[in-house]
Homo-oligomer: A and B are copies of this chain.
Amino acid sequence: MPGPYDTGLSRTEANFTALSPLSFLPKTAAIYPHRIALIHGEHASTWAQTYVRCRRLASALHRRGIGARQTVAVMAPNVPAVYEAHFGVPMIGAVLNTLNIRLDAEAIAFQLAHGEARVLFTDGEFAPVIARALALLEHKPLVIDIDDPLFPAGARIGALTYEEFLEEGDPDFAWSLPADEFDPIALNYTSGTTGNPKGVVTHHRGAFLNALSEILSCSMPAHSVYLWTLPMFHCNGWCFPWSMAANAGTNICLRRVEPAAIFAAIRTHGVSHMCGAPIVYNMMINAPPALREGLNARVNCFVAGAAPPAATIEGVERLGFQITHVYGLTETYGPAAFCPRQPEWQTLQLEERARLNARQGVAGPLQEAMEVLDPATMLAVPADGQTIGEVMFRGNITMNGYLKNPDATQAAFAGGWFHTGDLAVVEPDGYVRIKDRSKDVIISGGENISSIEVEDVLHRHPAVSLAAVVACPDEKWGEVPCAFIELKADAEADEAGIRAFCRARMAAYKVPKRVVFGPIPKTGTGKVQKFMLRQEVRK
């Protein structure tokens, strides 16, 4: 017998709408038409103007025959066109593929071919590398030049400019939300520390929720001022393009991440929030004090990285800013975990507070769960700060899967959780602390050595700017740790000194057996390429 709630209470057009971050834009444009949405150099555009430009973009793509579930790529730094693409492209159901501007022609060609991009917007600064990439492609996309007034030297290689393309579009274009909120919104390739990158496909539902989750995790008020130090091509700027539409804030574009430009923007525009990798903050910490004069904003900073040195967190706090460590992967739309502060930490010494703040923490407000599981049993490890397991996520802020790669998708989702490949412990307060990437663990004489733990100690050495530790094959021990070190400008250190510094601070078996000084290879997003270091030690 049917119960009272079993009939007549179903989904209709009145009570069910697809969740999509696109909904934020028309609403903000209607309520706050005259508020400033974007600032780029001397140019500012309002939310009403931005909405019109996004509709023109959607309409122009539509008129060129682009439709749902087709890829539109963008190669540009943080200029307004990339921001607009985050709305205009998915408005017609198409999928936005932002390319990392630090990639080489081969990598770009791979992504354009694999993603089957139909249109490519490219900034003039990157025309040369794009031209080389296009030469490698069998099916070439329609190329459109982003002609940025702040980069007048840019070359043109496309059929028309971005502004000309917008002119083709209808400012009143009647777009619609996706038929299914699980439809793809973006395609982002993993930075690929090994092999070909995988194409991470994300959905409207997850982007909507992560945009809100970011607002909640930083208690970001309406009308915040966000400085684009984080590339929008990096996991769609962690969904902040959409967060800023939701909170009717102001986006400050930044072509190039330089301390002078950062501090000037903070001063001029009253920046309230920014995000970035540790390197951005280190740049600010080490900037000449004159650049920092006259700052009165207390910026809320977000930093992500598998292991931000505690020194970075300390340094940013000394600038008078608030910094929160966040953690995630391309597969989780960028950060899907954060390290919320506890009131009792305030009474601790800065160093201890930084140690606590540097952890990966807990699942973000709208991500269902982050746990550290034994991948063999899928059981949670005890919260003892000792037992290592694999960090796994579950919830709506997780990708659809990898493009045209069902095997990798299935492996990543084995057992109903997304497997990050990061190894971690859970500390007694329930916060996760990553010990290593699974492939980065060094197994020496049967003991597991966390390369991150050794790197953390090395980062405390006053002469060390960057340290990376990998396994070096060893006849006796199987593997031993080998350290690669970049020294600070004008600083000096030698192998014996570094090893002595380590010996005083860790078990003997963890002390690097070799220390190599010199530049460390990094990916386009600034991640250390440990596979190259591993090749190096095998030479």
Complex Cα gap A31–B69 (Å):
39
> A201 at the A/B interface (Cβ < 8 Å)?
yes
Closest-by-CB residue of B relative to A24 is: B365
Q: Which of A226-234, A281-289, A403-411, A510-518 contacts B (4 or more CB under 8 A)?
A: A403-411
Given contact pairs A8-B409, A14-B393, A215-B216, enumerate 6 new A-B contacts (beta carbons under 8 Å).
Answer: A3-B69, A6-B69, A12-B413, A19-B396, A24-B365, A216-B222
Complex Cα gap A399–B219 (Å):
28
Question: A69–B5 contact, CB under 8 A?
Answer: yes
Q: Mark A432-470, 1 if CB is under 8 A from B, else 0.
A: 000000000000000000000000000000000000000
Residues of A within 8 A of B (CB): 3-17, 19, 23-24, 27, 30-32, 69-71, 95, 115-116, 182, 184, 201, 203, 206, 212, 215-216, 219, 221-222, 246-247, 340, 342, 362-363, 365, 368, 393-396, 398-406, 409, 412-413, 416-418, 430
Contacts of A201 in B (CB 8 A): 5, 9
A188 CB to nearest B CB, Å:
14
Contacts of A405 in B (CB 8 A): 8
Closest-by-CB residue of B relative to A8 is: B406
Residues A398 and B27 in contact in the complex (CB < 8 Å), given A184-B5, A404-B4, A405-B8: no
Complex Cα gap A6–B399 (Å):
15
Which of B7, B216, B395, B399 lies in contact with A247, CB distance below 8 A? B216
Contacts of A206 in B (CB 8 A): 15
Which of B14, B363, B365, B416 lies in contact with A14, CB distance below 8 A? B416
Contacts of A31 in B (CB 8 A): 340, 362, 430
Residues A71 and B413 in contact in the complex (CB < 8 Å), given A9-B184, A15-B400, A368-B17: no
Most B C-beta atoms less than 10 A away, residue of A5, A8, A342: A5
Question: B15–A246 contact, CB under 8 A?
Answer: no
Contacts of A365 in B (CB 8 A): 24, 27, 246
Complex Cα gap A212–B209 (Å):
10
A95 CB to nearest B CB, Å:
7
Contacts of A95 in B (CB 8 A): 5
23 pairs across A/B with beta carbons < 8 Å?
A: A3-B116, A5-B184, A5-B201, A8-B404, A8-B405, A9-B400, A9-B401, A9-B409, A10-B401, A11-B182, A12-B416, A15-B206, A15-B413, A16-B396, A17-B368, A17-B395, A30-B362, A216-B222, A216-B247, A219-B221, A219-B222, A221-B221, A222-B340
Complex Cα gap A30–B396 (Å):
20
A46 CB to nearest B CB, Å:
13
Complex Cα gap A236–B206 (Å):
27
A185 CB to nearest B CB, Å:
10
Complex Cα gap A394–B27 (Å):
13
A342 CB to nearest B CB, Å:
8
Complex Cα gap A215–B401 (Å):
31
Contacts of A12 in B (CB 8 A): 413, 416
Question: B14–A398 contact, CB under 8 A?
Answer: yes
Complex Cα gap A342–B223 (Å):
11
Contacts of A418 in B (CB 8 A): 14-15
Closest-by-CB residue of B relative to A35 is: B343
Contacts of A221 in B (CB 8 A): 219, 221
Complex Cα gap A418–B17 (Å):
13
Which of B4, B10, B17 lies in contact with A116, CB distance below 8 A? B4
Question: A406–B7 contact, CB under 8 A?
Answer: yes
A492 CB to nearest B CB, Å:
44
Closest-by-CB residue of B relative to A11 is: B182
Which of B3, B9, B16, B32 lies in contact with A70, CB distance below 8 A? B3
Complex Cα gap A32–B431 (Å):
11
Question: B219–A396 contact, CB under 8 A?
Answer: no
Closest-by-CB residue of B relative to A365 is: B246
